C-alpha cells in the first residue's frame, strides 16, 4: 500500500483520537481562547474558492487585532496589501474560513473554523482603526468549532527559540516579477525598493 485512499487505510496508521482529545473541540470561544486572541498579533487565514482551490493568507497587526464580538463571532480588519484579494474573493464565493492564531513564545495555537462574510460599513471599519487609519473592510467570522492545538509542532520546529533561527533572509520580488514582464535588472531593483518602502514608510497606508 503506497497511496492512502480510504478512511480505513488512514486509521491503520493514524489511530482514532481519544475521547478526551475530541472533548477539547468547542463550538465557541472559552475564557482561555478569548485571552489568547487578545494577545494574538498574527494569524494564518485559509479560504476555499468555488472550484476548491485553497488559499492561506498571513494576517498580522497589533495584539488583539482579531476582535471578539461575542464568543461565537469575530471581526478581522483588512489592511493595505497586494490587492490580489484571493481570500476575500473566496469568502464571497463560498463563505468558508479557517484560522490558526499564534502568540509569540506560546507553543499552543488556536484553530478556528466557520463561515465568513465581508462588510464595509463605515462605523464598523472605523471601529477597527489602527494608528488612526480605518480598516479597508471587516471580515465577520461565525465560529463553528475552535480548539487549541498542542505545542509539539512548534517545539519540534524550535519556532520561538532564537538560537535555532537561520540567518535573516529577504525575498527579491523584483527577480520574480521583472523577467515575467520583460523588464531589466534595473526595474527589478526598483520593484525591490518599492517593496522596502511598503515595509517601512508606507506600512500602514491604505492607498
- Mark whether 24 and 82 lie in a shared domain: yes
- The answer to whether the beta carbons of residues 28 and 74 sit under 8 Å apart is no
Q: Is residue 151 part of a domain?
A: yes
- Mark whether 58 and 76 lie in a shared domain: yes
Can you give the pLDDT at residue 147? Answer: 98
Residue closest to 122 by CA, chosen among 110, 135, 104: 135
CA contacts within 13 A on the Cβ side of 141: 28
| Start-to-end C-alpha separation, the chain | 54
- Mark whether 110 and 38 lie in a shared domain: yes
Residues 173 and 188: their CA atoms lie apart, in Å, by 8
Q: Is residue 54 part of a domain?
A: yes
- Mark whether 71 and 134 lie in a shared domain: yes
Residue closest to 141 by CA, chosen among 30, 46, 62: 46
Residues 14 and 90: their CA atoms lie apart, in Å, by 31
The total number of structural domains in the chain stands at: 2
Can you give the pLDDT at residue 204? Answer: 78
Range of the domain at 66: 7-157
Residues 145 and 114: their CA atoms lie apart, in Å, by 7
- Mark whether 172 and 92 lie in a shared domain: no
Can you give the pLDDT at residue 174? Answer: 94
- Mark whether 144 and 61 lie in a shared domain: yes
Q: Is residue 134 part of a domain?
A: yes
C-alpha grid cell, residue 186? 534595473
Can you give the pLDDT at residue 202? Answer: 85
Q: Is residue 205 part of a domain?
A: no
Q: Is residue 207 part of a domain?
A: no
Q: CATH code at 97?
A: 2.30.110.10
For the chain, residues with pLDDT lower than 50 are none
- The answer to whether the beta carbons of residues 46 and 55 sit under 8 Å apart is yes
Q: Is residue 64 part of a domain?
A: yes
Residues 18 and 14: their CA atoms lie apart, in Å, by 12
Amino acid at each position: 500500500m503506497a497511496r492512502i485512499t480510504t478512511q480505513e487505510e488512514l486509521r491503520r496508521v493514524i489511530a482514532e483520537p481519544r475521547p478526551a482529545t475530541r472533548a477539547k473541540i468547542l463550538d465557541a470561544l472559552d475564557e482561555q481562547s478569548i485571552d489568547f486572541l487578545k494577545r494574538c498579533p498574527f494569524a494564518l487565514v485559509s479560504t476555499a474558492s468555488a472550484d476548491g482551490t485553497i488559499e492561506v493568507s498571513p494576517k498580522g497587526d497589533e495584539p488583539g487585532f482579531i476582535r471578539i464580538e461575542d464568543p461565537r463571532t469575530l471581526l478581522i480588519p483588512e489592511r493595505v496589501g497586494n490587492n490580489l484579494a484571493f481570500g476575500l474573493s473566496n469568502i464571497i464565493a463560498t463563505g468558508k474560513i479557517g484560522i490558526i492564531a499564534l502568540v509569540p513564545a506560546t507553543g499552543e495555537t488556536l484553530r478556528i473554523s466557520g463561515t465568513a462574510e465581508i462588510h464595509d460599513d463605515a462605523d464598523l471599519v472605523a471601529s477597527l482603526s489602527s494608528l488612526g487609519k480605518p480598516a479597508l473592510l471587516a471580515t465577520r467570522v461565525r465560529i463553528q468549532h475552535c480548539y487549541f492545538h498542542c505545542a509539539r509542532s512548534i517545539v519540534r520546529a524550535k519556532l520561538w527559540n532564537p538560537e535555532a533561527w537561520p540567518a535573516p533572509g529577504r525575498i527579491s520580488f523584483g527577480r520574480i516579477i521583472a523577467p515575467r514582464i520583460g523588464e531589466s535588472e534595473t526595474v527589478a531593483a526598483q520593484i525591490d525598493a518599492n517593496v522596502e518602502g511598503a515595509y517601512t514608510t508606507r506600512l500602514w497606508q491604505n492607498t
